[in-house]
């Protein structure tokens, strides 16, 4: 973790052009509203210029052509450059997870562990494989015959159940469970009989799973999370779902069993997707939408039931006018019945 950088060093880091003669030392990063004299902030475009002029930030990342007469770096994509600076401020992984195997960890003799760090009270089961450079936080459990790829980071209390597979550079945040049994039961005279869930979960390279994500193992076969996809906190993925590459699923999205999501699908918060549906490549689903039928590739849907977003907005606008329309209807009905309307009383 770098605790301080001069503005000129930041310019070299992000490939930008230093504006002005000053070269302040920067020790942190913050938004325009919250930044102080030691912080770097960014201006996404000229519309934020008034806010930037009154910000207390020590220096700014600005787009080409925006000169605010204060210490700044001109760069093509300020937010992307800001993200690169933030990476230099991140806590050193060796401090988060000290190298080596903690003495309280339990590693089965039949496991193959080449991890950079295995934290306190971790459990690695028989036949499990943990790749080189992986880091396991406290109380992580890797079930029997599970596989964790190279350079993965599994934060505290993550569970990877038996047989499940994680690719390389996967990040899994605290409390996530990969490979819990799918919700499979058969109704009978004695109630709900459990259907054995004997499949696995397969997570691709460069996936990031937020805190308390739950991904159910397949009844048979695989539940799949495609490479590069990002799942926010408390997302639930049911058994036999297949999620494509580069998807972004916001918090509390729930996907019922056997759905197929194409590449690049984006969902807002609290989206619900019914079972056995197909969501096409690049589809966008607005927050709290309830999806009960297939969504075409590239479509944007919203509402419950989820409809084309323009149609859904028209319906919402019409509903807001409904009370006034009902009032006028009752007045007309009163006149038709020969009685005075409410307005005439």
Q: Where in the sequence numbering do the catalytic residues fall?
A: 239
272's tokens: 């619900």
What is the number of other CB atoms lying within 10 angstroms of the CB of residue 305? 12
Spatial distance between the Cα atoms of 296 and 280, rounded to a whole number of angstroms: 5
Spatial distance between the Cα atoms of 310 and 334, rounded to a whole number of angstroms: 36
Half-sphere exposure of 303 (CA within 13 A, CB side): 15
Are 198 and 180 contacting, i.e. CB atoms less than 8 angstroms apart? no
Spatial distance between the Cα atoms of 292 and 277, rounded to a whole number of angstroms: 8
196's tokens: 């054995």
Spatial distance between the Cα atoms of 53 and 69, rounded to a whole number of angstroms: 9
309's tokens: 């977003």
Are 161 and 147 contacting, i.e. CB atoms less than 8 angstroms apart? no
**What does the DSSP 8-state code read for residue 79?**
H
Are 84 and 37 contacting, i.e. CB atoms less than 8 angstroms apart? no
CA dist list (Å): 99 to 116, 136, 168: 5, 10, 19
């Amino acid at each position: 973790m770098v605790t301080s950088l001069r503005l000129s060093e930041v310019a070299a880091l992000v490939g930008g052009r230093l504006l002005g003669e000053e070269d302040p030392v920067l020790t942190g990063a913050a938004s325009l509203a919250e930044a102080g004299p030691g912080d770097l902030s960014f201006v996404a475009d000229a519309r934020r210029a008034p806010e930037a002029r009154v910000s207390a930030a020590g220096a700014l990342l600005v787009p080409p052509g925006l000169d605010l007469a204060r210490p700044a770096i001109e760069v093509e994509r300020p937010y992307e450059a800001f993200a690169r600076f933030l990476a230099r401020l991140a806590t050193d992984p060796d401090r988060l997870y000290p190298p080596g195997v903690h003495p309280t960890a339990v590693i089965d003799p039949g496991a193959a562990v080449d991890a950079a760090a295995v934290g306190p009270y971790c459990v690695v089961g028989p036949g499990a494989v943990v790749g080189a450079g992986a880091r396991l936080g406290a109380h992580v459990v890797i079930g029997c015959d599970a596989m964790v790829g190279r350079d993965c980071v599994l934060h505290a209390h993550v569970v990877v159940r038996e047989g499940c597979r994680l690719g390389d550079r996967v990040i899994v945040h605290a409390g996530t469970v990969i490979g819990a049994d799918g919700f499979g039961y058969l109704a009978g005279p004695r109630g709900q009989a459990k259907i054995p869930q004997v499949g696995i979960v397969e997570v691709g390279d460069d996936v990031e799973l937020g805190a308390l994500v739950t991904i159910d193992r397949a009844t048979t076969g695989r539940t799949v999370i495609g490479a590069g996809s990002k799942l926010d906190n408390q997302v639930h993925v049911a058994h036999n779902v297949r999620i494509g590459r580069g998807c972004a699923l916001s918090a509390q999205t729930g996907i019922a069993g056997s759905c197929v999501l194409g590449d690049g699908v984006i969902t807002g918060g609290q989206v619900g997707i019914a079972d056995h549906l197909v969501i096409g490549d690049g589809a966008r689903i607005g927050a709290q939408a309830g999806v009960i039928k297939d969504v075409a590739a590239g479509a944007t849907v919203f509402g419950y039931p989820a409809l084309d977003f323009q149609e859904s907005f028209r319906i919402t606008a019409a509903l807001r006018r409904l009370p006034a329309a009902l009032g006028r209807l009752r007045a007309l009905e009163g006149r038709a019945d020969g009685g005075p309307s409410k307005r005439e009383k």
